[in-house]
Amino acid sequence: MTFLPTDFESVPCDLCGADAPNVRYRKNGFTIVECSRCGMVYTNPRLKSEKIGELYDADYFKGHGFDKSIDYVGDVDSYGKEKSNYTLNDWDLDTIASMLRTPLPQPPPLGRGGGALLEIGCGTGVFLAKAREHGFECAGLELSSYAAEFVRKMGIPVETKAIEEANFPENSWDVIVMREVIEHLPHPMESLRTIHKWLKPGGVLFMATGNYDCPERKLRGSDWFYFMPEGHLYYFSNRTMAKYLRKAGFRTIRVTNQGDLLMEMLRKYGVLESGEPSPGNILKRMVFQLVRDVNHFISSGMRVYAVK
Ligand SMILES: [Zn+2]
């Protein structure tokens, strides 16, 4: 896809409002800047929203777009046939499940069967199908009507709208999930405030995104795989993410960098079984926890858990 100068727009920092960007990286004809006031990293200038919309066509969901690391349509196929080679793996749901079990000052008001769960940017709906198996009452929000059709076929309600167009009542969701979505949003602050309104008091926002502070970015610079400035507009560190959430009104905020690469590898070679080892199996448990800690350090991903 080729772009014209008129396809681009310059924007101030979405986190603090300052217009004081310092260029940090150049990639694919774009510049990635850091706000000199608050340290937020973002693509600037960036493609205008209507141009960005064109990126999310059928090819994108098959892994032929600007992000070749995912294949949502392939995931649906795997899911239907009960294979386990998803590009978006089970661990996302495992992470949510374990986070929901973690004792909190004020636990989320989930019923016995889970609760009302909304996934924003649900793609072809494989995660929602899994959440439904875990007892959640699920719905999705998805901009692409091509992807949303897959979700409907699974019998899960989905609205083909942007966050700012959706009209959910206040205090209506127990859990809102955004996996690898916030970095694509043109105005994350506005979106987080809307999500905060939609959540029930004590409700939980779960997010996954890239970790700008990861060793891979520091070592490889602009070659960091997560720099996809066509569609990735924001690059969060644990610090800027926490700042965003506090400003949007969230109270309990947990930002971690747990990854799955090492874990997946060890499972592949049979060193670890899937799921957490039982408390009785002390040796396996120690290995599991060690791997989790190492993952925590090397991961280029970020996991966020925030309570309204
Ligand atoms: Zn700023």
Residue 17 Cα, ligand 1 centroid: separation in angstroms? 6
In a domain, 96, yes or no: yes
Domain of residue 163: give its range.
48-307
Contact 41, 218 (CB under 8 A): no
In a domain, 21, yes or no: no
Residue 299 Cα, ligand 1 centroid: separation in angstroms? 25
In a domain, 182, yes or no: yes
In a domain, 174, yes or no: yes
Q: What CATH number is given to the structural domain containing 120?
A: 3.40.50.150
Q: Could you give the C-alpha distances from 224 to 27, 87, 228, in angstroms and in order?
A: 10, 19, 9
In a domain, 108, yes or no: yes
Output the tens digit of pLDDT for each of the chain's 308 residues. Answer: 678 889 999 999 999 999 999 999 999 999 999 999 999 999 999 999 888 777 777 788 788 787 777 777 777 776 666 555 555 555 556 556 655 555 444 444 444 456 889 999 999 988 888 888 777 889 999 999 999 999 999 999 999 999 999 999 999 998 899 988 999 999 999 999 999 999 999 888 989 899 999 888 988 899 998 999 999 999 999 999 999 999 999 998 888 775 555 666 677 677 767 666 777 888 888 887 787 667 666 677 888 889 99
In a domain, 173, yes or no: yes
The total number of structural domains that make up the chain: 1
Residue 186 Cα, ligand 1 centroid: separation in angstroms? 15
Residue 224 Cα, ligand 1 centroid: separation in angstroms? 22
Q: Considering only CA atoms, which of 308, 293, 307 is closest in space to residue 262? A: 293
Residue 188 Cα, ligand 1 centroid: separation in angstroms? 13
In a domain, 256, yes or no: yes
In a domain, 60, yes or no: yes
Residue 287 Cα, ligand 1 centroid: separation in angstroms? 41
Tokens for 109?
Answer: 């008001």
